[in-house]
Amino acid sequence: MKTVVTRFPPSPTGSLHVGGARTALFNWLYARHTGGRFVLRIEDTDTKRSTRASADAIFESLEWMGIDWDEGPYFQSQRSALYAEFIEKLLSSGHAYYCTCSQEKLEQMRRKAMAAGGKPKYDGTCREKKLPPADGAVVRFKAPLNGRTVLPDVVKGNIVFENQELDDFILARSDQTPTYNFAAVVDDITMGINTIIRGDDHVMNTPKQILLYQALQTELPVFAHVPMVLGSDRSRLSKRHGAMSVTAYRDMGYLPDAFINYLARLGWSYGDQEFFTRQELVEKFQLANIGRSAGVFDPEKLLALNADHIMAANPRELIGPIRPFVAMHGFEVKDGAFIENVIRTLQPRSKTLKDMAADALFYFQDDIAYDSKAAAKFLRIEALTPLKELIAALQPIERFSERNLEAAFTSVMERTGLKLGKIAQPVRVALTGRSASPGIFEITEIIGKQKVLKRLRSAIEHIENLT
């Protein structure tokens, strides 16, 4: 059995977005599932729009997603000699010819064809002239005038194209740069690509590419055209649907494993399972499970899945990912039990790493700023006695464990006759500045004795200043 070789060939004309990221993921997953190879190719023959900065942004996005490549990155702009060699092969075999028709003549053809109710295609003026190379000449493919071209697609089934509907399409422009369909086929042949998974917006390109494979006497690859990703209104996905560049999701605090989990489910399924680890995706990804219906991008589902992945992660695994978000607030995250415990308390309530970092600030701060509503409601004169009693109960404790802290709170309840809520809420605001937080014993233990006592005294001073 042949080794599966897939590829991802983005054009470096901007950032990598959801649709392209899903294409890269499907090709990577299939290569990894089958023990094959994944090739990265940069299709930068559009010199006016292609930039190195865009290529670097694509690499950065793939690396964040955890998509590694076995070969490449290859740049089409560095493969001109190879394309020229294949042009000569097609010219020599009679499958291509030079065309010197001017733009004005081509426009006349277009108008004439449309007026007759036909397609605005090239009429074959230079097809049999056997013209030599000339300045300004293009090279066209000599497409068959009758018969059919069949696209065998593992997702959509066989798709049949009437050859008379096809054009003598251009292979090399007047400046000798290759066109997309020609360069892609040459690259796929020379790189040994035998499985092509891509969006179904490429279906109309495929009959031209099949004709090139046949002219070059090369076996066809497996084609799998995946339905496009749509917005909630079933139109083509765009920013107005909430879709952004891959790095934007990274910067918003999404986990790469959650992101690829969601992308995989846009057009692929494995029963009713929604949550997948990276390893599960690799183990279970099959072309047969790609659906024919378009995937609809839902930012809320992605956010919910991200929360699930945060909750399922080992806290230690989240230290590195959360570090830059905490750093944005001016604090440094060091490896160890402290940050692991901080993360553990926040996992159930965090949808993104950005949320988690913001909610974690009270653990790092020296001075707590009170939320005005929380302070007005809970830091009142009646809280003075339980706060002072709690300080007295905590001071003798050498080890701040959950059991010892619970005993201290219980003793305050007994001495004051107050229920836990009446004590815990003023303490919560004193320690965090807010009325909502993880469990009071958990946060008290993590913050530590010195900071806890300091914050309780600051809360008492705050109340006494008000009165």
Q: Under a CB-based contact definition with an 8 Å cutoff, are residues 31 and 7 in contact?
A: no
Reported as half-sphere exposure (CB side, CA atoms, 13 A), residue 167 has a value of: 18
Rounded-to-integer distance, Cα 106 and Cα 129, Å: 17
Rounded-to-integer distance, Cα 154 and Cα 30, Å: 14
Question: Which of 112, 130, 239, 373 does the annotation list as catalytic?
Answer: 239
Q: Under a CB-based contact definition with an 8 Å cutoff, are residues 461 and 450 in contact?
A: no
Amino acid at position 114, single letter: M
DSSP code of 40? E
Residues 6+ apart with CB under 8 A from 365: none
Rounded-to-integer distance, Cα 114 and Cα 246, Å: 42
DSSP code of 117? T
* Token representation of residue 294: 């378009």
Q: Which long-range contacts (C-beta less than 8 Å, at least 24 apart) are formed by 421-425?
A: 422/386, 423/386, 423/390, 425/378
Rounded-to-integer distance, Cα 199 and Cα 20, Å: 9
**CB-based burial of residue 459 (10 Å sphere; 0-12 exposed, 13-18 middle, 19+ buried)?**
buried
Helix ranges (H only) for 347-439 are 353-359, 361-364, 372-378, 384-394, 402-416, 420-432
DSSP code of 165? G
DSSP secondary structure string for all residues of 181-217: HHHHHHHHHHTT--EEEEEGGGGGGHHHHHHHHHHTT
Asked about 284 being catalytic, the answer comes back as no
Q: Under a CB-based contact definition with an 8 Å cutoff, are residues 361 and 331 in contact?
A: yes
Name the packing angle between helices 52-65 and 256-264 (round to 10°).
90
Q: Under a CB-based contact definition with an 8 Å cutoff, are residues 86 and 186 in contact?
A: yes
Q: Are β-strands 37-42 and 71-75 bridged in parallel, bridged antiparallel, or unpaired?
A: parallel
DSSP secondary structure string for all residues of 235-258: SBP-GGGT--BHHHHHHTT--HHH
Q: Which residues carry out catalysis?
A: 239
